[in-house]
Amino acid sequence: MKVPRCRGTRDLLPQDMEKFRRIDKGFRECCLGWGYREIKTPVLEYLHLFTSAGTLSPDMLGRVYSFLDWDGWSGERVVLRPDGTIPAARLYAENLQSLAVARLCYVENMFAFEGTGRESRERWQCGAELIGGHKPEGDVELISLALEALSKFGLKSVELRLAHAGLLKAFLQGLGLRGEEEADMLDRIFSGDADVIEEVKGGNPELEKQLRLLFGLKGDSLGFVENLRNLFTVSNPALESSLSELARIADLLTNIGCSYQIDFTSGKGFEYYTGIIFGFYSSGRRLGGGGRYDELIPLVGGKDICASGFALYVDEIMDLLGKPSEREKVLVKAKDAEGLKDSFEMARLLREEGFIAEFDLGQKKTAGFRWIVDMRSGKGIELIERSSGKKQRKSSPAEVLAVMRRRVSESQRRKRSK
Amino acid sequence: MKRGDGVQIKLALPKGALQGQTSALLEEAGFSIGDYKEGSRSYRPGCELFPGFFTKVFHEKDIAIQVAIGNYDLGICRLDWVEELLVKYHSDAVVKVQALGYGKRNLYAVAAGGSGADSLQALKSSEESLRIVSEYPNIAESFALAKRLRRFRIFPVWGAAGAYLPEHAEIAIMTGTSSDRLREQGMVPVATILGGGAYLVANRNSLESKDLSRLLSALSGAEVVDTGVEEEVAGAAAGWEEELPAADKNVVCLALPDGHQQRHTVDFFKGAGIEISGYGSGKLTSRPRIDLDGVAVKVIRPQDMPLQVANGNFDLAVTGRDWLQDHRFCFPSSPVEEVLDLGFGRVRIVAVVSRDFPASSIDELKRLKREPALRVASEYVNVADKYARDNHLAPYKIIPTWGATEAFLPEDADVLIENTETGATISKHKLKIVDTLFESSACLIGNALAMRRRDKRSRISRLIETMRGGIDARAAC
Distance CA B213, CA B74 (A): 11
Report chain B residues whose CB lies below 8 A from the CB of A75. Answer: 131, 153-155, 311
pLDDT exceeds 80 at position A335:
no
- DSSP annotation string for A35-60: T-EE----SEEEHHHHHSTTSS-HHH
**Best to test chain B binding among A65, A74, A121 (most B CBs inside 10 Å):** A74
The pLDDT value given to residue A21 = 96
Q: Do B310 and A73 touch (CB under 8 A)?
A: yes
User: Is A14-320's fold the same as A329-417's?
Assistant: no
Among A197-211, A319-333, B287-301, the minimum mean pLDDT is found in: A197-211
pLDDT, one tens digit per residue, over B164-199 is 988 899 999 999 989 998 888 888 999 999 998 999
3-state secondary structure (DSSP) of residue B186: coil
Q: Do B331 and A71 touch (CB under 8 A)?
A: yes
pLDDT exceeds 80 at position A418:
no
3-state secondary structure (DSSP) of residue A17: helix
CA distance readout (Å), A174 to A171, A181, A262, B309: 5, 13, 22, 50
Q: Per CATH, which fold does A14-320 belong to?
A: BirA Bifunctional Protein; domain 2 (3.30.930)
Chain A contact for B150, CB < 8 A?
Answer: yes
Give A163's strand partners. A277
Burial class (CB in 10 A: 0-12, 13-18, 19+), A151: middle
**Best to test chain B binding among A57, A60, A73 (most B CBs inside 10 Å):** A73
For the four alpha carbons of A391, A397, A401 and A402, in that order, the dihedral sign comes to: negative
Q: Are A258 and A161 in contact (CB under 8 A)?
A: no
Pick the CATH number of B347-440 from 1.10.3720.10, 3.40.190.10, 3.40.1190.10, 1.10.3260.10: 3.40.190.10
For the four alpha carbons of A51, A57, A59 and A65, in that order, the dihedral sign comes to: negative
Among A411-415, B130-134, B196-200, the minimum mean pLDDT is found in: A411-415
Chain B contact for A299, CB < 8 A?
Answer: no
CATH 3.40.50.10860 matches B242-342+444-476: no
pLDDT, one tens digit per residue, over A122-136 is 999 999 999 998 889
Average pLDDT along chain B: 88
The pLDDT value given to residue B71 = 92
Burial class (CB in 10 A: 0-12, 13-18, 19+), B3: exposed
The pLDDT value given to residue B248 = 67
What is the pLDDT averaged over residues B54-77?
A: 93
Predicted confidence band of residue B139 (pLDDT cuts 50, 70, 90)? very high
The CATH architecture to which A329-417 belongs is 3-Layer(aba) Sandwich (3.40)
pLDDT exceeds 50 at position B238:
no
Closest CA to B172 of B221, B230, B237, B225: B237
Predicted confidence band of residue B115 (pLDDT cuts 50, 70, 90)? low
The pLDDT value given to residue B379 = 95
What DSSP state is assigned to residue B302?
G
| Nearest residue in A to B372, CA atom | A1
CATH 3.40.190.10 matches B105-194: yes
pLDDT, one tens digit per residue, over A342-357 is 899 999 999 999 999 9
Q: What are the strands of the beta sheet with B130-134, ordered from one edge?
A: B152-156, B130-134, B171-176, B105-112, B187-196
For the four alpha carbons of B115, B118, B124 and B125, in that order, the dihedral sign comes to: negative
| A282–chain B nearest CA distance, Å | 33
Report chain A residues whose CB lies below 8 A from the CB of B395. Answer: 1, 3
The pLDDT value given to residue A54 = 63
| Domain residue spans of chain A | 14-320, 329-417
Helix A179-190 × helix A165-174 angle, to 10°:
150
Smallest Cβ–Cβ distance between B307 and the set A53, A73, A183 belongs to A73
Q: Are B174 and B84 in contact (CB under 8 A)?
A: no
What is the pLDDT averaged over residues A53-75?
A: 85
Burial class (CB in 10 A: 0-12, 13-18, 19+), B422: exposed
Q: Are A54 and A299 in contact (CB under 8 A)?
A: yes
Residue A6 corresponds to which amino acid?
C
Smallest Cβ–Cβ distance between B155 and the set A62, A75, A115 belongs to A75
Residue A1 corresponds to which amino acid?
M
**Torsion-angle region of B30 (φ positive above 0: left; ψ -120 to 50: alpha; else: beta):** left
CATH 3.40.190.10 matches B9-103+197-233: yes
Distance CA A200, CA A205 (A): 9
Q: In this structure, how many other beta carbons lie within 10 angstroms of the beta carbon of residue A104?
A: 23
Residues 6+ apart with CB under 8 A from B48: none
Chain B contact for A301, CB < 8 A?
Answer: no
Burial class (CB in 10 A: 0-12, 13-18, 19+), A300: buried
Distance CA A271, CA A248 (A): 23
| Nearest residue in A to B137, CA atom | A75
3-state secondary structure (DSSP) of residue B158: coil
Distance CA B25, CA B222 (A): 6
Give the DSSP H or E segment for A232.
helix A222-232
**Torsion-angle region of A286 (φ positive above 0: left; ψ -120 to 50: alpha; else: beta):** beta
Chain B contact for A179, CB < 8 A?
Answer: no
The pLDDT value given to residue B235 = 39
Q: In this structure, how many other beta carbons lie within 10 angstroms of the beta carbon of residue A70?
A: 10
pLDDT cut 90: percent of chain B above it = 57
Smallest Cβ–Cβ distance between B331 and the set A52, A62, A72 belongs to A72
The pLDDT value given to residue B284 = 67
ipTM of the complex: 0.82
| A307–chain B nearest CA distance, Å | 22
Chain B contact for A304, CB < 8 A?
Answer: no
Closest CA to B342 of B393, B270, B413: B270
Report chain B residues whose CB lies below 8 A from the CB of A183. Answer: 148
Q: What are the strands of the beta sheet with B374-378, ordered from one edge?
A: B396-400, B374-378, B415-420, B347-354, B431-440
> How far from chain centre, in Å, is Cα B371?
30
Give the DSSP H or E segment for A22.
helix A14-33
pLDDT exceeds 60 at position A196:
yes
| A61–chain B nearest CA distance, Å | 7
pLDDT, one tens digit per residue, over A33-59 is 999 999 999 999 999 999 875 678 888
A&B contacts, CB < 8 Å = 59
CA distance readout (Å), B468 to B269, B293, B305, B319: 10, 17, 20, 16
Report chain B residues whose CB lies below 8 A from the CB of A4. Answer: none
pLDDT, one tens digit per residue, over A204-250 is 788 888 888 888 899 999 999 999 988 887 777 888 999 999 999 99
Distance CA B308, CA B310 (A): 5
Among A151-165, A369-383, B218-232, B286-300, the minimum mean pLDDT is found in: B218-232
pLDDT, one tens digit per residue, over A159-193 is 999 999 999 988 888 888 887 788 888 888 888 88
Residues 6+ apart with CB under 8 A from A336: none
Q: In this structure, how many other beta carbons lie within 10 angstroms of the beta carbon of residue A198?
A: 10
Report chain B residues whose CB lies below 8 A from the CB of A184. Answer: none
| Domain residue spans of chain B | 9-103+197-233, 105-194, 242-342+444-476, 347-440
Chain A contact for B334, CB < 8 A?
Answer: yes
Q: Are B77 and B96 in contact (CB under 8 A)?
A: no
> How far from chain centre, in Å, is Cα A88?
15
